[in-house]
Structure 1
Amino acid sequence: MSDKERSSQSNVKKYYKSTGFCSFGIGSEAAEVEVKDGKILRIRPLRYDSKYDTGKIRKWKITARGKTFEPCKKTPLGPFSYVYENRVYSPNRILYPLKRVDWDPDGERNPQNRGKSKFVRISWDEAAELIAKEIKRVCEKYGPTAVLVQGDGHGETKAVHGPHGCHLALMNLLGGCTVQARQPDSWEGWYWGAKHAWGQDPVGQGRQANLIKDISEHTTMMLFWGCDPETTPLGWGGMSASRLCFWFRELGIKIISICPDLNYAAAVHADKWIPVLPNTDAALQLAIAYTWITEDIYDKEYVATHTYGFEEFKKYVLGEEDGVAKTPKWAEKLCGVPARIIKALARKWAKEAVTIAHCNGGSYIRSCYSTEPGRLEVLLLAMQGLGKPGTGQLKFFEWQLFGLHDQNPLPRSEVLPSVEGAYRGAVLEPPEKGQFIPKTLIPKAILSDEPISWYGVTLAGMPKEDQFNEYRYPEVGCSEVHMIWSDTPCWTVCWNGGNKWIEALRSPKIECVVVQHPWFENDCLFADIILPINTKFEEEDISVDILNGNYNLVLYEGQCVEPLGESKSDYEAVAEVAKKLGLYEQYTQSKTVKEWIKTGFEKSGISDRISYEEWLEKGYYIIPPAEDWENDEPGFSPFYKDPENKPLDTPTGKIEFYATGLAEHFPDDKERPPVPHWIPYGESHQESLQHPRSEKYPFLIVSNHPRWRVHAQLDDVPWLREIPTCKVKGPDGYLYEPLWINPVDAKALGVKTGDVVKIYNDRGWVLGGAYVTERIMPGVVYQDHGARLDLIVPGESDRSGSNNLICPTNTTSKNCAGEVTSGYLVGVEKVDVEALKKQYPEVFNRPYDARYGVDQAAWIIGGDE
């Protein structure tokens, strides 16, 4: 049956929704959601000609090398959007408020049982009353900063209904709180390192303006370094990155992938794969610099006019500082790349117009001391004349974020839209009142008996100078945390040292934990009260789509289906608590959802182009490209042409081989010195094959953004779980998170594909399903991060393979509060599932459905009613 016949027979309603998973309502993919009899029938791309005559839309077009690249006629949806109806109707949906059975606000609270105890259904009235009473009690006893608000990160794209932080708006009415400040988790090495080489606030990645046109016309070689630039954008920009990868190949640009794993983009697009050991890229980069210097094949004139401190860097590279020349032979022993390959790469690079491509940075930039490879990449680009035609650093994701046109490598649109006028909650800046703790330091802050301190607010977007400011917890005049209220319950499976977070959640200091979420998963297991939240398909909202790679859009999101069970939006859920506190009118500002949508539209940047009524009727507005977009100077071209009048945002205005800010503020920091160094291990980390710990834990693990999830989301989607590379079926029928193992290592371990293995270190252990493949280099294992929790012993072990539980608890380095979630040491051994069943019968006999994973209704008394 054709689409037309199907639609005519089903009386389908069509709504335009942004179905991405980015927070703050500033990205994602526009889609059509078709509904029949009150249920989602299917999701498909938004076709631009469905409401508009595409012939009237001004298009952009890039013509290069006799070929043409232009927008699609529909949004390039990724697989996650197509399968999202599975997520909406997942049996893991929370359908009514819940309370932990042995948490008694008037008696024993039993914090030690969080993660073990079951839950019982309660009414919305009781839940809201309990939360309001706890807030009053805690604020009166300790002060408002005793409440920690967790409101950031990987949720659905919403605006009115809360892109995260509706509870922060309420707490600000009560005098403030403690805010969890999300550090730039996908940009750690750029944020804490590269900023001190080339500036580039807000996140430290290079200027993107009009780079696609420049690359298409001039680039001859592209490096995919440390990541899979096609996989990560699937959750935000759909297939837009994939289109670009195929376009670059069509143009004949040579692609080299440098990473430990032959990931999807490397396998499909790369002309050559150079495997490098995790967390050793700095050694490889220094050896490339050594080759250029000793063979005199770098741009000396550019270095002399556009950079600062090169001679200090040169001394380190040549070994004049420490007596160790950073030769390719020296690097070979450290990074696993043969010296001849290093020299060949260096010489090829020196002859070509090279662009380095990333999606944020991947595991390459989320490891120990990632500041060093982050800075060294900038310096290598500088040594070959950064800003020349065809050179730069391309990022495949998060274009135009932070309201900056120069973050968009595609043709600039006439308007960069925003719906911040409709936001009812977002942790976008330091708290109005109270104190904050970096997300990476939350467990340490709670568990410490002494005040802790760190540098930088850590919120992505803060200027680099903020990294020189010292902060502390508790702040003077503020309380320690005694209550947690979260709308982002994925800390355990997405951040550093999740087992420490479990320990913190079970601390007697924490008297109440409130979680609001659509699904019963991950941190929800440790809550005292859970509020059921609906998905964006059950709400009316407004959003923008600025990541689809075609056009910028402002969308009206009609409600597709009725809320499941008793679920409410985050905005509405907090409103219920506000009523009990007598703050409903102040919280809502006496506006309806419709009125907030209209406010968002009026401040979106398109209200002078289309009437509100027409926009509502059409469902979206396409913003055409700027007529003069082709004249935009690409990337670092302005700096390349005129460094004096177009300086960079560094203290010297130049690319700093010697970071003057670091030298002034942290002159004795051996983990982030003024000149970037090779740091295998140090005070903060000993996660290196050069360290004696490797005798006990002989493998380095790579943990990337998942191919078939968005961080912790979508791990319960049947259509994805049945993909062989998504899960490995164990002998017990359980679908385990794959652990890639090289055949050489598998033979030594006595492991074959399908075996169950333990991945362990001194921080705990998780299980995985062995996947023996040449796509991972020897000495390295690979397992995606973000698997949904299936705890064996809370705070110690997990069946699902959620390796964030056992990654380092320490941050990037002692003065950098970033996360470390890849490139650390583990041991691997085959396990006997039958023996584990006997040791942990309750865990291994839990109700299990291979389509959705662990039946979390087993945690709810009467949950199957």
Structure 2
Amino acid sequence: MERRLSVATHWGSFVAVVESGRLLRIEPRGDDPAPSPIGPGMVRAAEDGARVLRPAVRKGWLDGLPRVGERARGSDGFVEVSWEDALTLVSDELRRVRARHGDGAVFGGSYGWASAGALHHAQGQLQRFLALGGGYTDSRNTYSTAALEVVLPHVIGGHPWSYQSRMPLWDEIAEHGELVVAFGGLALKNSQINPGGLARHRTGELQRRCREAGVRFVNVSPIRRDTADFLDAEWLPIVPNTDTAAMLGIAHTMLVNGWHDEDFLRRCCTGFDRFAGYLLGEADGVPKDAAWAARITGLDRDTITGLARRLTERRSLVMVNYAVQRADHGEQPIWMSVVLAAMAGSMGRPGGGWGAGYATMDATGVAPGRPPVASFPGVPNPVPDFIPVARIADALLHPGRTIDYDGRRLTLPELRLVYWCGGNPFHHHQDLHRLARAWQTPDTVVVHEAWWNTTAKFADIVLPVATGLERDDFTAGFCDPHLTAMPKVREPAGESRTDHRIFADLAARLGYGREFTESRSESEWVRHLYERTRAALGDEAALPDFDEFWRRSTAELPALTGPFPGSFAALRADPERFPLATPSGRIEVFSAEVDSFGYDDCAGHPTWYEPAEWLGGDLAGRYPLHLVSNQPASRLHSQYDNGGRSLDSKVRGREPVTLNPSDAAARGIEDGAVVRLHNDRGSCLAGAVLSDEVRPGVVQLSTGAWWDPVRPGRGGSLDRHGNPNSLTADRPCSRLSQGPSALSALVEVELHDEPLPDVLAFVPPPIEH
């Protein structure tokens, strides 16, 4: 008989149909108005040939051979070993590295979404394990929003993510808003996901409600489809990486015409006079007017002037999406968007003001937050050292080098053992050829993986782990007011084990097994975390007991109603009584603290800096196309690239790249052709898709295709599959945040008229059984 079980993922909740232990299909839940198509595609990947079925050790590492040539990580074959031998190798190596090089030589900054679940959060499991064992070097910030996370506390105060509860919700925008200007767009495809899980997708219907209420939308992006068709948005096809210049031109127009909100700027902001001098060109002789902005951005001067008037005449919301800050000087569009909103007159008014990351996930703008939910408990890390998340290759290549970071000087540690769990650095990181070189430097790389993706192929010891379909847990998504049960749908493939069991076994060998597990089994942990949540929320929440929750598959959490710290409405009403957590208590248009750092790439107020690579620079003569490596619609980052949804999106087995028809015609490229993208850093093949929804001079290639270089570790080696990080620069966006600058990359594209190499991304390496 068929059984129907709850499935909870980062891209929504589904129903798994199982018969005799075999997963037949995954279906949408009936109460989800916009279910993600990624879910049903998980079935195809559940038992595909890329599953890691047994512990495996790289042959060269096992034999003690140098990491060069065919014995290098990424090129070598593997030997399967027993769990007993694998656990012995890992525990012995941890002891050796800690004893010889210190606890900080172990890198546990493992980064990635992994799978949803309160207990089986891979990074949390790893970091508790390593902290109890003596500590580890951690990473800070995220690839998604590093520049935002560092600069916003200087500008509006508070925790880096506190802005989520300080922005208007979609319902409020529908009721009170009139104009939304979205820098970087509002791509609905991104709202498929929510970190930690999601019961129902609501962003699409809430956006539609805004449009039906008469709210007008402006999409400032090189890609038209960065807003949904039903929004009927005005498209301003801006030159990539020039959003700050566009905002400066709008701000200058407001200033010289007296349209700006002088009262709010005087009472609720600090440093505007100094910034106004920059706008007017008092120091450099260059007024940042609409004509100046038009020359940089490719937008019409009258369009910029008209947008300035509309923003000040209507209840307006200035939105900025995360993509615009993953670029050279990525702090600037974030900072400048806050200043522009403060000038426009709607800051702190219902349905207006400023916001970031709308539609980036189905959480922002949907709900202000949710009550705390218990998760697998962390413990303090005895090692204080950390690296900015995007500087992992720098740390591996240049230990001992000092770098700037948010007013501090950091010394990059010497990392001898990398322990990666729940993520894919060969997706997230830029310039993968450089990362591949850096990845050869540590003594040992240990990876937990379910599939033989690129990170597993570049490891020394690979431990097979159960997927989210193969273990019990429950989810609680970011801002999502639901708990959702995650019963095990199928048995783990091969000899796979959960991350928790692996770490429990290793901790027992290393002498702290009881401290790690607290003498609870996995099922006891799941029950314990739920009941802790239930007890903390008390009678008001009225959550059912665990057994009833497990039977129902879902429970609703009470809504958060505020007031929330740092409210712009409260600031507008009474800045003395409700100051922000900034040095001045106000919005810092000019930050004396940032200015004191003396960075030549991040001044004390929003500033236009020319990107290292953009269509207005000299390099565009050699590489005349700007690469936009945005988030995919067919998977979550690189997760389930081997799933049905992602595989069906490929063009001749390769990741699709979208070109404007005029750029394609100039290169003799037709729709469906295989093309080669290249620059000085590398090259990759992709399948051409022609569309006038991409600005001329721009090509769009989503992230997440499993990297498949012809000769791994060899600089510039052709990637057969279409990973854009073959081409992006591993260059910090500034000394302030050290964040990634993936969206500042120029390329050329040409028709690939040679024999096509087979895609081997989903083929395991040579394995001796």
- TM > 0.5 between the two? yes
Matches within 5 A, 1:47-62: none
- For the residues of structure 2 that align with 1:727 and 1:362, how far apart are their CA atoms? 26
- For the residues of structure 2 that align with 1:675 and 1:623, how far apart are their CA atoms? 41
Q: 4+ residue runs of structure 1 moved beyond 4 angstroms?
A: 73-76, 105-112, 397-400, 407-413, 629-635
8 Å contact from structure 1 (residues 290, 317) kept in 2: yes
Q: Secondary structure at the match of 1:453?
A: strand
8 Å contact from structure 2 (residues 43, 643) kept in 1: no
1:223 aligns with 181
- For the residues of structure 1 that align with 2:34 and 2:397, how far apart are their CA atoms? 46
1:188 aligns with 146
- For the residues of structure 1 that align with 2:665 and 2:295, how far apart are their CA atoms? 23
Bigger mean CA deviation after superposition, 611-620 or 496-505 = 611-620
Q: Secondary structure at the match of 1:747?
A: helix
1:603 aligns with 532
Shift of 1:601: 1.6
1:64 aligns with none
Bigger mean CA deviation after superposition, 73-82 or 669-678 = 73-82
Corresponding letter in the other structure for 1:583:
Y
1:826 aligns with 747
Matched, 1:786 2:708: no
- When residues 624 and 175 of structure 1 are mapped into structure 2, their CA distance, relative to the original with a 3 A threshold, is closer
1:523 aligns with 455
- For the residues of structure 2 that align with 1:450 and 1:631, how far apart are their CA atoms? 46
Matched, 1:292 2:251: no
1:696 aligns with 622
- When residues 588 and 631 of structure 1 are mapped into structure 2, their CA distance, relative to the original with a 3 A threshold, is closer
1:758 aligns with 676
- For the residues of structure 2 that align with 1:586 and 1:305, how far apart are their CA atoms? 53
Shift of 1:606: 4.2
8 Å contact from structure 2 (residues 41, 643) kept in 1: yes
**What is the number of equivalent residue pairs in this alignment?**
754
1:88 aligns with 46
- When residues 616 and 647 of structure 1 are mapped into structure 2, their CA distance, relative to the original with a 3 A threshold, is same
Gaps of 5+ in 1: 1-10, 21-27, 48-72, 401-406, 456-466, 475-479, 730-734, 838-843, 849-853
Shift of 1:630: 10
Shift of 1:785: 1.3
- For the residues of structure 1 that align with 2:164 and 2:501, how far apart are their CA atoms? 39
Task: Decide which of 9, 13, 21 is 2:3's aligned counterpart.
Answer: 13
Corresponding letter in the other structure for 2:118:
A
- When residues 222 and 355 of structure 1 are mapped into structure 2, their CA distance, relative to the original with a 3 A threshold, is same
Task: Decide which of 218, 221, 234 is 1:256's aligned counterpart.
Answer: 218
- For the residues of structure 2 that align with 1:624 and 1:322, how far apart are their CA atoms? 54
Shift of 1:487: 0.8
- When residues 790 and 630 of structure 1 are mapped into structure 2, their CA distance, relative to the original with a 3 A threshold, is closer
Corresponding letter in the other structure for 2:97:
V
- For the residues of structure 2 that align with 1:335 and 1:209, how far apart are their CA atoms? 27
- For the residues of structure 2 that align with 1:430 and 1:771, how far apart are their CA atoms? 49
8 Å contact from structure 1 (residues 261, 775) kept in 2: yes
Shift of 1:204: 6.7
Task: Decide which of 582, 590, 593 is 1:658's aligned counterpart.
Answer: 590
Matched, 1:727 2:656: no
Shift of 1:577: 2.4
Corresponding letter in the other structure for 2:639:
Q
8 Å contact from structure 2 (residues 157, 566) kept in 1: no
Shift of 1:688: 2.7
Identity in percent: 27
- When residues 680 and 204 of structure 1 are mapped into structure 2, their CA distance, relative to the original with a 3 A threshold, is farther
Shift of 1:689: 3.2
- When residues 275 and 267 of structure 1 are mapped into structure 2, their CA distance, relative to the original with a 3 A threshold, is farther
2:279 aligns with 317
8 Å contact from structure 1 (residues 419, 542) kept in 2: no
- For the residues of structure 2 that align with 1:633 and 1:133, how far apart are their CA atoms? 48
- When residues 809 and 87 of structure 1 are mapped into structure 2, their CA distance, relative to the original with a 3 A threshold, is same
8 Å contact from structure 1 (residues 287, 331) kept in 2: yes
Corresponding letter in the other structure for 2:82:
S
Gaps of 5+ in 2: none
- For the residues of structure 2 that align with 1:140 and 1:672, how far apart are their CA atoms? 41
Q: Secondary structure at the match of 1:130?
A: helix
Shift of 1:616: 3.5
- For the residues of structure 1 that align with 2:388 and 2:258, how far apart are their CA atoms? 44
Task: Decide which of 600, 603, 616 is 1:673's aligned counterpart.
Answer: 603
8 Å contact from structure 2 (residues 398, 412) kept in 1: no
Task: Decide which of 12, 34, 38 is 2:17's aligned counterpart.
Answer: 34
Matches within 5 A, 1:311-460: 311-357=273-319, 361-385=321-345, 386-394=347-355, 395-396=357-358, 409-410=365-366, 416-420=371-375, 423=376, 431-433=381-383, 435-448=385-398, 450-455=400-405
8 Å contact from structure 2 (residues 184, 226) kept in 1: no
Shift of 1:182: 4.1
Matched, 1:715 2:641: yes
- For the residues of structure 2 that align with 1:782 and 1:399, how far apart are their CA atoms? 20
Q: Secondary structure at the match of 2:336?
A: helix
- When residues 434 and 314 of structure 1 are mapped into structure 2, their CA distance, relative to the original with a 3 A threshold, is closer
- For the residues of structure 1 that align with 2:235 and 2:685, how far apart are their CA atoms? 29
- When residues 373 and 108 of structure 1 are mapped into structure 2, their CA distance, relative to the original with a 3 A threshold, is closer
- For the residues of structure 2 that align with 1:489 and 1:212, how far apart are their CA atoms? 32
- For the residues of structure 2 that align with 1:210 and 1:679, how far apart are their CA atoms? 30
8 Å contact from structure 1 (residues 317, 326) kept in 2: yes
Matched, 1:172 2:131: yes
- For the residues of structure 2 that align with 1:555 and 1:777, how far apart are their CA atoms? 41
Corresponding letter in the other structure for 2:184:
G
Q: Secondary structure at the match of 2:24?
A: strand
- For the residues of structure 2 that align with 1:332 and 1:645, how far apart are their CA atoms? 41
TM-score, normalization by structure 1: 0.82
8 Å contact from structure 2 (residues 154, 591) kept in 1: yes
Corresponding letter in the other structure for 1:396:
Y
Q: Secondary structure at the match of 2:703?
A: coil
Matched, 1:623 2:557: yes
- When residues 194 and 607 of structure 1 are mapped into structure 2, their CA distance, relative to the original with a 3 A threshold, is closer
- When residues 564 and 751 of structure 1 are mapped into structure 2, their CA distance, relative to the original with a 3 A threshold, is same
Q: Secondary structure at the match of 2:490?
A: coil
Shift of 1:316: 1.1
- When residues 174 and 624 of structure 1 are mapped into structure 2, their CA distance, relative to the original with a 3 A threshold, is closer
- For the residues of structure 2 that align with 1:845 and 1:633, how far apart are their CA atoms? 55
The alignment yields a C-alpha RMSD, in angstroms, of 2.7
- When residues 616 and 113 of structure 1 are mapped into structure 2, their CA distance, relative to the original with a 3 A threshold, is same
- For the residues of structure 1 that align with 2:564 and 2:105, how far apart are their CA atoms? 50
- For the residues of structure 2 that align with 1:441 and 1:823, how far apart are their CA atoms? 17
Shift of 1:140: 2.4
1:856 aligns with 763
Matched, 1:151 2:110: yes
8 Å contact from structure 1 (residues 29, 75) kept in 2: no
Shift of 1:92: 1.8
8 Å contact from structure 2 (residues 566, 578) kept in 1: no
Shift of 1:41: 3.1
Deviations 1:560-599 (A, max 9, x none): 2211111111111222323433433232221111221232
Shift of 1:783: 1.0
8 Å contact from structure 2 (residues 112, 423) kept in 1: no
- For the residues of structure 2 that align with 1:384 and 1:343, how far apart are their CA atoms? 13
Task: Decide which of 569, 593, 616 is 2:498's aligned counterpart.
Answer: 569
Shift of 1:774: 0.9
